[in-house]
Copies of this chain bind each other. A is one copy, B any other.
Amino acid sequence: MSATTKNVSPAKLSKPSDREIRVERVFNATRERVWKAHTDPKLLAQWWGRGNKLVIERYELERGGHWRFVEHSDHGAHGFEGRFREVTPMERLSMTFEWDGMPGYPVVSTAVFEDLGDGRTKLISTMLFYTPEERDGMLQSGMEGGMNESYAALDALLARTS
């Protein structure tokens, strides 16, 4: 966000299968810092909610641990929760993700952190749904715009904490 920020490529969204969404995005920060921004509740609260107040009710960063976030916007409160499937520091973070508005419809969200070797990190995120209809519903929900807002907020956090 500052004049010294290197340009980043926009997020690249693709559909590897009819039940998945894949997003690639490069961040101007080391893998350690991008990992920390994804796993430290104090940092997560600063970008995940895209500027909205985010209350982290539960965050147990280990295999089998639970997490729960509540985002407070002008439109009300939205809860999200899930459980960690895999926590491999700096490398891989996999969890279920479920929105209170569609309870019982979890998605498997997996992030892979790739060190680009020049102080930048590529984040490869995939979401796996039970059905193609749920995947398409997510795409139609404005998910891409929300994700880009979150990533812009993460860019800003990384820039101001570098």
Contacts and interface: CB of A to CB of B under 8 A. Distances in A.
Please classify the interface of chain A as helix (H, G, I), strand (E, B), loop, or mixed, using the class held by over half of its residues: strand
Interface stretch (A39-47, A103-111, A112-120, A138-146): A103-111
A79 to B, nearest CB: 9
Interface string A23-55: 000000000000000000000000000000000
Q: Could you say how many copies of this chain the assembly holds?
A: 2
Contact of A94 (B104, B106, B128): B104
A104 B96 contact: yes
Contacts of A65: 103
Interface in A113-149: 128, 130
A154 interface: no
B130 A100 contact: no
Contact of A103 (B63, B103, B130): B63
A106 B103 contact: no
A86 interface: yes
A4 to B, nearest CB: 39
